[in-house]
Structure 1
Amino acid sequence: MKKKAEIAVVWGEGHGSTPISAFDAALVHAGLANFNLIILSSVIPPGAAVREVGRFPGEGVGMVLPVVLARSVGPGYQASGLGWVTSPQGGLLFESCGGTHEIVREDILKGLTDMMKRRDWEFSPISLRIQEATSEMSCALVAAVFLIPHLQFPGWFWMSR
């Protein structure tokens, strides 16, 4: 029996002396700092379960993790967030960053609503997670980590004939 894919939603805030340093600190907080991240767009495979876990529990220095990433880095207050919906046909993720908590929230709700209108699918209610950070140089990060079952990775790639 084929194991279903899972998506772990994680988040973190970071503070540092440079933007990259603050980003690294947020990755540490989210449990992603020692991985190589591959950035994905916004489509959830059919049957995938989305779980909010806070901090990614996996280990694997240098291993590759596919993610949808929302991050805001800079001086002072930062906010970023992810929203998602699922359906039997598949699901959607929408990332937003910058502005206030409320601006990020509204952007996610509007964006996902637009995306849902373009598909004739039966969607779940919208779920979302927003992270904030404030310091001299800060990073707010939310990521959806795609946990791909062993040996199913090649089936996830589109290939030309």
Structure 2
Amino acid sequence: MTTARPETGPTIRISTGTGSGRTTLSAFDAALRSAGVADFNLLRLSSIIPPGSTVLEVGAADQLSGAHGDRLYCVYAEAHAELPHHEAWAGIAWAIALDGSGGGLFVEHEGPSREQVDRDLTATLEDLVDRRGGGYEIAGRAITSAMCETEPVCAVVIASYAARGWSVE
């Protein structure tokens, strides 16, 4: 028995944000606000892009909208720095299948430097593509950073798949 696949998948919106606060948690909240997704409950997914999807890089104002407390299905990278002059770098890279299906892969990494995050994103995405026998094209990456001056900072890159309320489905 074959399961029918939807002809169109989600429009996945990728945004970045940075923030600071008196704690790493409040810095994370500020970074989510900067990325346009602060009032959601985040449900982290395992980095597979469904067939029929479109991946768009957007600003905070063009992220998914929803009511306070809605579920947000997403992939994200978050990095923190707490010491003065330390950096937090976060990034997501993606590859799209060459078969025209719109399916693909995300990878996410965090680190203390752009060089490390770039290197880790590239190596991981290459490994995932190789394990699947190739057939993917590296399509993009989004990276952001924050520098700690006095308060903890957070850098976030988030790929939002869908926002859902809490009504019975």
Q: What is the match of residue 88 of structure 2?
A: 78
2:68 corresponds in structure 1 to 61
Q: Residue 115 of structure 1 aligns to which amino acid in structure 2?
A: L
1:43 to 39, 48, 54: 48
Q: Which residue of 1 aligns with 2:57?
A: 52
Q: Which consecutive residues of structure 2, in runs of 5 or more, have no partner in the other structure?
A: 1-5
User: What is the alpha-carbon root mean square deviation over aligned residues?
Assistant: 2.0
In structure 2, C-alpha distance between the alignment counterparts of 1:119 and 1:97, rounded to whole Å: 24
Q: Assess if the C-alpha contact under 8 Å between 1:22 and 1:139 holds in 2.
A: yes
Which one of the candidate residues 81, 90, 108 is aligned to 2:121? 108
Give, in whole Å, the separation in 2 of the partners of 1:148 and 1:48.
15
How many Å apart are 1:147 and its aligned residue?
2.8
Moved over 2 A (4+): 1-4
Q: Give the conservation status (yes or no) of the 8 Å contact 2:8–2:53.
A: no
* Aligned amino acid, residue 65 of structure 2: G
TM-score by structure 1 length? 0.86
The residue identity in structure 2 corresponding to 1:23 is F
* 1:109/1:126 contact within 8 Å kept: no
Contact 2:71 2:163 in 1 (8 A): no
* TM-score, normalised relative to structure 2: 0.82
Residue 128, structure 1, aligned to residue 128, structure 2: no
Q: Which position in structure 2 is the counterpart of 1:8? A: 13
Residue in structure 2 matched with residue 99 of structure 1 by the alignment: 112
1:74, CA displacement in angstroms?
A: 2.6
* Structure 1 position 58, deviation (Å): 1.4
Counterpart contact for 2:70–2:163, Cα < 8 Å: no
- Identity among equivalent positions (%) equals 35
- Unmatched tracts of structure 1, length 5 or more: 155-161
Alpha-carbon shift at residue 129 of structure 1 (Å): 0.7
Which of 130, 141, 155 is the equivalent residue of 1:140?
Answer: 155
The answer on whether the counterparts of 1:79 and 1:140 sit within 8 Å (CA) in structure 2 is yes
C-alpha deviation, 1:127, in angstroms: 0.9
Q: Distance in 2 between matches of 1:101 and 1:28?
A: 22
Q: CA deviation at 1:18?
A: 0.4
* 8 Å CA contact retained: 2:9, 2:50: no
